Structure 1
Amino acid sequence: MENTYSDEEIERCTLRNPREIVFQLKTLIKRGERVSVIFQEGRQTFLTVLLDVSEKNNRLYFDIGGSNEINQAFLKAEQSTFVAIVDGIRLQFSAKAGQEVKLNGERTLAVPIPTAMLRLQRRDMFRCPLPSTKPYMCRIPRENGDESHALHDISIGGIGILTSQELRYEQLEKLENCRIDLRESGFLNVTLEIRYVTNIESRTGKPLWHMGCRFVDLTPASEVLIQRFMARIEAERRALSAD
């Protein structure tokens, strides 16, 4: 684990809701992502892909390894760690002793579904672009009345706004009591700091305003909400691409 993360940050990024954990596992299965299985205190490892997850049987199924010796060593291990890197996000969970079972008539390995999963990413590395149709909105209190703007992107570090409405804000200006509506995911009440405001030209030749904002003193609960929102948006985008 990267030592740039505190125990508190790691705890905040740990999923414990069974439905969220199963959702992440199903995403790995659908994408066919390669997963590292590590056991015997890191002395043994092999690559696999997850095949299925059964909440009814409390089992996570994954492909058997290519080495019989390693497979047998894995079956004797009391615990193992699974690690996958997806779009710059590290997914990691521990599992109790595994067993060899049959899935659709084929030999596979299985472990109990994990009760916790770490979903860790660098804070400002990944920006999630947001749809322009039915956009997510940010309400900003102003002296002459509130302004509402469509979000262009979001990250753990802040938001981007792209609009045809002229934006009259100053660099490093702080905007308190802003409210971001993420609909099904909930609301964010945040303080924003303006990092830049630029005027650009659209493809049609019409002027557009692009504003980048940084979150100020974002609460741990809001960080988790944003991470889960971004995960949902990315899952929906991949589902649309697959269709």
Structure 2
Amino acid sequence: MATILETCRVPAPPGAADDLSVPLTFLDIFWLHFHPIRRLLFYDYPCSKPHFLENIAPKLKESLSLILRHYLPVAGDLIFPLNTEKKPEIRYVAGDSAVSLTIAESGSDFHDLIGNHARDADQFYEFVPQIDPVTDESEYQRLPVMALKVTLFPGHGICIGFANLHCLGDASSLVGFIQAWASMSKLGGDEEFLTKQGDSSLPIFDRSVIKDPLGIDTIFWKKKREVPLKSSSFPLPTNRVRATYVLGRYY
């Protein structure tokens, strides 16, 4: 079992931006009631617990805060209107919005987890972060769009877990965020990141570029609004195994 070492909320750096509202398009509304997307990245990086807590964890938190300047919706909440024609949106509020981050330690067999053989799929779920539950407000429901969890396997490696609402973005968008966070952590600063990456690699939040002349978003929303948001839970036990296969070059 993993032991929780720290739970915190990581905000964008001061002065990053004013409040931001990103309306959902028909590409996003379709996924409103879909379960969160979960990803685990394992890094074979042997280090001690003191080194991790003194060097790795602070650097991950600092670089995460810096990259949120360019990915503000990641720190925001899904706003699901109730009893109104208003459409849902992802809302970032300066000084209030932040990403939930959990730091943990595990005594599980790291090399068994990253191996290519079949193993119990349920053991992976303890490394996946849980998104905070739905909050019911007077006129809407609110739900964080992402949560993160970093787990140390002392002397063996590190796992970074991601959980995000599907309406936050597709696979390409989320991989772009992960790569940007990694680059920020490696480069160490916002100026260095922008010099290396360039503005062309940053996301665009202007939804006016998506044309919907047939009003598909309205059609989708009429159906989706009939079902209130619900917090997602892990389907344990799954009674499944997970295996990895290495495909060699075919001649």
Provide TM-score, normalisation by structure 2. 0.22
Larger strand percent: 1
Higher-helix-fraction structure: 2
Under a length normalisation based on structure 1, what TM-score does the superposition of the two structures give? 0.23
Q: Which has the higher contact order (CA 8 A, sep 6+)?
A: 2
